[in-house]
Each structure stands twice: as C-alpha cells, then as structure tokens.
Structure 1
C-alpha cells in the first residue's frame, strides 16, 4: 500500500511531519533548503512520495506548480518506486547543467542505497546549490 506523499516544505514554507523522516531530519532538510535558496537566489524544493508514470512527466508537472518555476529546482523522490527526478527551470538550468544534476543524483542514490534517505537529500541539495553558485 502506498503511503501519502510527503512534501518536506510546501509552497507556504510549512513543514509536513508525516512521512519517513524524524523531526530532526525534517529540520536538517528545511535548513538545507533555506541555505540553498539564500546562497543561490534559486528556489529549491523536495517532493517525496509516489510519482505517476511516466515519473519524469509527473515531476515536471510538480515543478511547474512552484512559484517562479523558471528559477526553481525540484528534487522528486519516490523511494517505493526507486525513482529520483531532478527538474530545473529555464533560469536554474543555466547554472546547474544536466551533468551536474546527474552527479548529484548519483551521490544521492549512493546514500539512499546505504539507508540514509534524509542525508542523501540534504547532500544532493548542497551539491546542486554548490554547482549553481552564489547569486
């Protein structure tokens, strides 16, 4: 049975507490998102939950719902489906290449395989923000 999707931070910035993370892990994720946003001037978001097939198209639909989607980066993760999608808007893509996103994805996947879901997401956000550079 699929669990309800969890958005670590919704559009209003509120944390959603139901899901695979402890409160401490949610705080780490929120802090990583906040720092990435501040340092880069981009908007970083995380979606964790089931993705409709085809997963890339679903992730792109979710990305378009983000305010200022051109400057947004979405990490969409479905642990049950073993799928990870990183979607960048047009402006964000100028600063984070597909190669950079793939490298961050591989790093996250290695952490996930080791059982560290929250740590993998935090690390991936940090890597993506580093590639984007400061604004």
Structure 2
C-alpha cells in the first residue's frame, strides 16, 4: 500500500520512498496484519502445561486438552481426537473444549475409565461449568484436570 504527500523538499528520498515528477513524495509502508488473539497468555499456557504434566506423572495416565471447534457432532469429534493419542489412548483422558459452541467433552480410554468412574467425570464437569460461566476458561480446565487426576489416584 502506498500513500503520498506533496513535498517541496529537494532531499533524496529514503528507503521505500520515491519523489514523483510532480513533486509528490510516494511512501511505501509494510502493514502487518493483526495476529490472531490466542485464548491464553504464555504464562497461562505454562500453568496449563504444568497441570497436564502433574496429572500425567502422578497418575500414570495420559492427560490431554483440546481447545477449539468440535463441530456439530462434538462427541464424535472428541472421540476422534482421543483416538489420536494412538497407543496411549487406552490410558488417556481428553478434555475437549469448544468455547465458541459452549460445549465440552471428557473422554476416557478403557484403562482410564477403570480408574476414573463416570461420577467423577460428572463432578469434574460441574466444576468446569461453574468456572466457564464466570468466564474463567483456564481455571475451569485446570480444575477439571485436578479433579480427574485426584479421582484416578497415583500410578
């Protein structure tokens, strides 16, 4: 994009500038597009990473969090994401959150389900909903992780 100004100066134009025959100074400027806004700051991402690490290490289960659009069939999409854990899926726990849709899913693999009963998942979900209603996305996810890892117990 270029903009122009009438210039009466006879100085040589600088880099990205050109003096036209009519005396107009044409200036080229780089316009950087706005970066997409991320839901978490770097500090918040570090908190989430720490919560995931502690949950995984203390229980021996593979905890994962997905944040993004889950589509119309949110449960099916969350199950696909959980299956993406590969060999670790049986002992995996996925919390998939779609803030735009106001939907989340908790998926447990076969081994994880033996250690984390449905009732514990429901309690974690209720805790997460309470935080989400207050606009506390990160706190809700971390609270859910802690409750699920507490229910699973140590490895």
Taking structure 1 as the reference length, the TM-score comes to 0.85
CA positional deviation for 1:20: 0.3
C-alpha RMSD of matched pairs (Å): 0.9
**Whole-Å Cα distance in 2 between the matches of residues 109 and 25 of structure 1?**
19
**Whole-Å Cα distance in 2 between the matches of residues 89 and 100 of structure 1?**
14
Q: Which has the higher contact order (CA 8 A, sep 6+)?
A: 1
Looking at secondary structure, tell me which structure has more strand per residue: 2
**Residue in 2 that maps onto 1:38:** 57
Looking at secondary structure, tell me which structure has more helix per residue: 1
User: Which of 32, 38, 42 is equivalent to 1:19?
Assistant: 38
**Residue in 2 that maps onto 1:106:** 126
**Whole-Å Cα distance in 2 between the matches of residues 52 and 94 of structure 1?**
29
**Residue in 2 that maps onto 1:87:** 107
SS at match of 1:108: helix
SS at match of 2:115: coil
**Residue in 2 that maps onto 1:61:** 80
Establish whether residue 50 from structure 1 lines up as the match of residue 79 from structure 2: no
SS at match of 2:140: helix
What 5-or-longer segments of structure 2 have no aligned partner? 1-36
CA positional deviation for 1:93: 0.1
What 5-or-longer segments of structure 1 have no aligned partner? 1-17
Deviations 1:47-76 (A, max 9, x none): 000002210010000000013100000000
**Residue in 2 that maps onto 1:123:** 143
**Structure 1 outlier segments of 4+, above 3 Å:** none
Deviations 1:70-103 (A, max 9, x none): 0000000000100010000000000001111111
SS at match of 2:66: strand
Taking structure 2 as the reference length, the TM-score comes to 0.74
CA positional deviation for 1:19: 2.4
